[in-house]
Structure 1
Amino acid sequence: MTSTARMRPTRPADLPLAALVDAFSLVSVGADIAGTTVHGVTMASDDVGTGELFVAVAGARVHGARFAAQAVDAGAVAVVTDAAGVAELGDLAQWVPVLLADDPRALAGPLAAYVAGDPAQHLRTVGVTGTNGKTTTTYFVDAALRAVHPTTAVLGTVELRIGSQAIESPRTTVEAPVLQHVLALAVERGATAVAMEVSSHALALHRVAGTTFDVVGFTNLQRDHLDFHGDMEGYFRDKARLFEPGQARRGVVVVDDEWGRRLVREARIPVESLATHVGDPAAAEADWAVVSADVGLDGVGSTFTLRGPDGTEHVAASPLPGLVNVSNAALAIVLAHAAGVDLATAVDAVGGAHAVPGRMERVIERAPGRPLGIVDYAHTPDALVLALEAVRPITPGRLVIVFGSDGDRDRGKRPIMGEIAARLADVLVVTDENPRSEDPGEIRAAILAGVRQVRPDLADVHEVSPRAQALRLGVALAGEGDTVIVTGKGHEPTQEIAGVFHRYNDRDVYLQAVADGLADAPPLPAAGGAA
């Protein structure tokens, strides 16, 4: 995992522990708190800053209080935990201040925000949630914010970035204390706006507690993370937490699916609706709507017309191809406008935004004897459909897909992904994503079961592991008019196999294939079945 130590403020707080006890009605059950001051808050025993308060929460396997001694040795000055955690502490409570809380996880964000001086109040904050499109939309929003804010921050799946400094992000939405550290550092460095992704896990686990967003957006809700949320209803309810009073002041909701339309009805904050499917009956009643779109044939981007609440139409563009990115760009424009950016400025800035890492990223450009090579993060059934439909119009020849599915995640989507790829692509190379603790071969077998529903003979289907070899085969199979798209990992810099993180990036493999001449070689004959 990526360390976030460099994302702590350089001028930390110096707050009496007694002030926290009073502000949050905590009960002291350990050593005397008198004279103890707190400089920050952490939930990670292996990433503790000197003078920080360690919040020990119950984990999936063990209680975080088991690591309290390690945190104290690293510099923590006190512990916040629940009754079960206190029982785990043993003798530690006799010489370290310990504060009792009913739900320390829910309290971690507010505690961290309080110690950091509530940094979100000094920033224009935009949060984006939904199944697909969070990263792209967040980067588009940042492009619009940067048009009027000299220094901005971006927090999400790809990176934690303040101005020009960035580190790899450990997850889509960091834990609550880390979030407050980053926001405080952003303020310290002169940032005045932040755009961030907000995952359903983050909402369920209170990672954004203690932060009230100025405006939040919802992209869509499609099958994903059911291993965590149980079913689509649970998934929706966790997403909807972002649209609660105290969590956000106002929202913008894409109403292209029934989940979005339901969110508009049930949200307890003011929301504006946005319809992005041209011809959708929902557009007539939506506050904002895409009334026409041209995805083009060059694959560079798309243009569209956005109708505002007053009926005025605005010609806009997405720098990325496909109707899905028309939706992402339209949402970003409306979010940025809701966050105080002039509408015309937002339109221009989003249309000129730079490429987003791992999102329809063109790594190999089409050239004599060479295919177009694209990396995309699509890892859900709906996202895979959108990705393949986006690249088909810019593919004169065959569409080659290299893909897999994650281990220790929703198993039901694996055959669905296989069926979609077999239906929408010409050549399939089935490989591994992040097998995690599962047998990679069993994951591939589940995908191939779906492929067989469309291609019983597995024509033009290849099963290859490891992933780098699979992508190199995909490039070697493709000719000048073909497109190779590798999906599922996007920007990710590692691959998790049997609990070990190995450095790996699809973009790097593409570039090495070019260096080795694979992209310029004549296409290999189809194998006619699984390799």
Structure 2
Amino acid sequence: MTGFRPDSTRPVALADLATALGAPNPGVDVLITGVTLDSRAVQPGDLYAALPGANVHGGRFIAGAAAAGAVAALTDAAGADLAHAADVQLPLLIVEDPRSRLGEAASLIYANRDPGLSLIGITGTNGKTTTAYLLDSALRALGQRTGLVGTVETRIGERRIKSVRTTPEASEVHGLIAAMREGGVDTCVMEVSSHALSLHRVDGLVYDVAVFTNLSQDHLDHHRTMDNYFLAKAALFTPQRARQGVICVDDAWGQRLAADAPIPVTTLSSTGQPADWRLDAGEGSEFTLTGPAGRLDLRSALPGDFNRVNTALAALTLLAAGHGIDAVREAVLADPHVPGRMEKVTANTPREPAPLAVVDYAHTPDAVAAALAALRPEAAPGGLIVVLGAGGDRDRSKREAMGAAAALGADQVFVTDDNPRSEDPATIRAAVLSGARAAGAESRIEEVPDRAEAIAAAVEAAYAAGPGSVIAVVGKGHESGQDIAGVIHPFDDRTELAAALDAAGGSA
């Protein structure tokens, strides 16, 4: 649950909703003022969406939803049977695939066909969160009131709550947009995951600008193939979902998307691929963008080639949204704080010379490789140290590749637990270790199951390596908990890394 809804809505007649969804009219005069698919979040006047789930059908909770004040339910034939079996006297809108109709229903209930604010949607395997924060920071510098929906948090102006998933369910997304409109938001920047697109979470929204960062292996437990994964992302770049696009064509997937997209697109390349805009790296974090509107001399607030690309995408998105080139040049220079993305960690009482220590959310092979490549110039010979694991109950096929990326990119690798969830942590570590050892690199590889102990061992190794050492703790980024066998234990890489640095200072 996001926790954000508008304070008031214009009621929608159930009969009008039935007509819009192509559902049989229940023949009951009912007014709808909200919608949710969580029976625990029902408010009086809600439409309860009783959807089929992986394990349990939402129809089993219709009685509870009715008791909480739901005045109607959207469901399928199976949900209707469950409601009738429980003798629930609630008007039902019965459609074949209720999940695919929820976005349309929520759009009508919250009057979002004309949302009254600009919408920017960002998709891609890596870089969504960083690009979203860069855009949010720049828009604020331009004097706008912003909304943000993404992996780290959901925010309306200065009101914020921690996010449960990258992109909320359709009922929550539309409630958020209505609350943003009510709160005077000018532009909402939203991370749009492949799950959100394939599971209809952003149906009923049309983005003013859609942004594509890149595509590499991830989420194949859900999409099964890279082609399916790409097609889920590509669905954002259609007239039903976006008016125009900004696409990085550094990888083959971006090139394919730019060639196939049926909406106008602006392309970016940092690798020499033909594109509307060319990124030329300068000294350090500085770079130049050259394209049809002129030249922008910019710099990235975060290290690495990929963060120059993220910054460039933010600038081109602002241009596509209608902001002038001079205003964009200044706005993009505002330094954002991006939680858990190349975030530097320092100790209260460091032992000098202290290593450079960062926490990053990198949890795919490409992201691990890119993070370590970004830090390599900062590290003395032999002094780049990485701590990583892999999550359980997720794409198992990327674990060996993550281990290989770590071994090829760092001088010392500490393989540890991430979020094992319901899986045996030792099995996950074994896969990561296998990939690391098979990479043929000369890096030193150690297994330290306890993540806090692995971080402490990395700090000890950094001091042993001498001045100029760099520690990268990757995988969890901004997360403040570790999921072990269904129990979330408090754990924040940033806190643990700072404590280990402090402990090293105290031991000195």
Matched residues, percent identical? 45
Instruction: Tell me which residue corresponds to 2:490.
Output: 503
* Alignment-mate amino acid for residue 58 of structure 1: P
Following TM superposition, the consecutive aligned residue runs of length 4 or more in structure 1 with deviations greater than 3 angstroms are 91-94, 519-522
Instruction: Tell me which residue corresponds to 1:164.
Output: 158
Alignment of 1:246-325 (within 5 A): 246-277=240-271, 280=272, 282=273, 285-294=274-283, 296=284, 302-310=285-293, 312-325=294-307
- 8 Å Cα contact 1:142-1:152 kept in structure 2: yes
Structure 1 position 381 matched with structure 2 position 381: no
- 8 Å Cα contact 1:370-1:520 kept in structure 2: no
Q: Distance in 1 between matches of 2:166 and 2:114?
A: 18
Q: Deviations over 1:171-213 (max 9, x none)?
A: 0101011011111111111111111100000000010001000
Q: CA 1:452 to 1:33, structure 2 compared with 1: closer, same or farther past 3 Å?
A: same
The Cα shift of 1:101 comes to 1.2
Q: TM-score, structure 1 length as denominator?
A: 0.91
Instruction: Tell me which residue corresponds to 1:62.
Output: 56
Of 164, 170, 173, the match for 2:167: 173
The Cα shift of 1:461 comes to 2.3
The Cα shift of 1:141 comes to 1.2
Q: Deviations over 1:372-431 (max 9, x none)?
A: 110101100011110000001111251111100111111121111111211211111111
Instruction: Tell me which residue corresponds to 2:44.
Output: 50
Instruction: Tell me which residue corresponds to 1:232.
Output: 226
Q: CA 1:212 to 1:440, structure 2 compared with 1: closer, same or farther past 3 Å?
A: same
The Cα shift of 1:315 comes to 0.5
Instruction: Tell me which residue corresponds to 1:408.
Output: 393
Determine helix, strand or coil for the equivalent of 1:242. Answer: coil
Determine helix, strand or coil for the equivalent of 1:396. Answer: coil
Tell which deviates more after alignment, 400-409 or 142-151: 142-151
Q: CA 1:94 to 1:436, structure 2 compared with 1: closer, same or farther past 3 Å?
A: closer
- 8 Å Cα contact 1:476-1:521 kept in structure 2: no
Number of corresponding residues: 502
* RMSD value, Cα: 1.9
Q: Distance in 2 between matches of 1:437 and 1:150?
A: 43
Instruction: Tell me which residue corresponds to 1:491.
Output: 478
Q: Distance in 2 between matches of 1:509 and 1:205?
A: 36
Q: Distance in 2 between matches of 1:321 and 1:165?
A: 29
* Alignment-mate amino acid for residue 51 of structure 2: V
Q: Distance in 2 between matches of 1:251 and 1:364?
A: 39
Q: Deviations over 1:78-99 (max 9, x none)?
A: 1101112212222456511111
Instruction: Tell me which residue corresponds to 2:333.
Output: 351
Task: Flag structure 2 segments of 5+ consecutive residues without an equivalent.
Answer: none
Q: CA 1:451 to 1:120, structure 2 compared with 1: closer, same or farther past 3 Å?
A: farther
Of 387, 409, 419, the match for 1:424: 409
The Cα shift of 1:519 comes to 5.0
Determine helix, strand or coil for the equivalent of 1:27. Answer: coil
Task: Flag structure 1 segments of 5+ consecutive residues without an equivalent.
Answer: 297-301, 523-531
Q: Distance in 2 between matches of 1:292 and 1:154?
A: 29
Structure 1 position 142 matched with structure 2 position 136: yes
Q: Deviations over 1:266-313 (max 9, x none)?
A: 111111111122xx2x1xx3111103333x2xxxxx110000125x22
- 8 Å Cα contact 2:355-2:470 kept in structure 1: yes
Of 176, 192, 200, the match for 1:206: 200
- 8 Å Cα contact 1:142-1:195 kept in structure 2: yes
Q: TM-score, structure 2 length as denominator?
A: 0.95
* Alignment-mate amino acid for residue 257 of structure 1: D
Q: Distance in 2 between matches of 1:27 and 1:424?
A: 59
- 8 Å Cα contact 1:415-1:446 kept in structure 2: yes
Q: CA 1:94 to 1:507, structure 2 compared with 1: closer, same or farther past 3 Å?
A: closer
Q: Distance in 2 between matches of 1:291 and 1:514?
A: 37
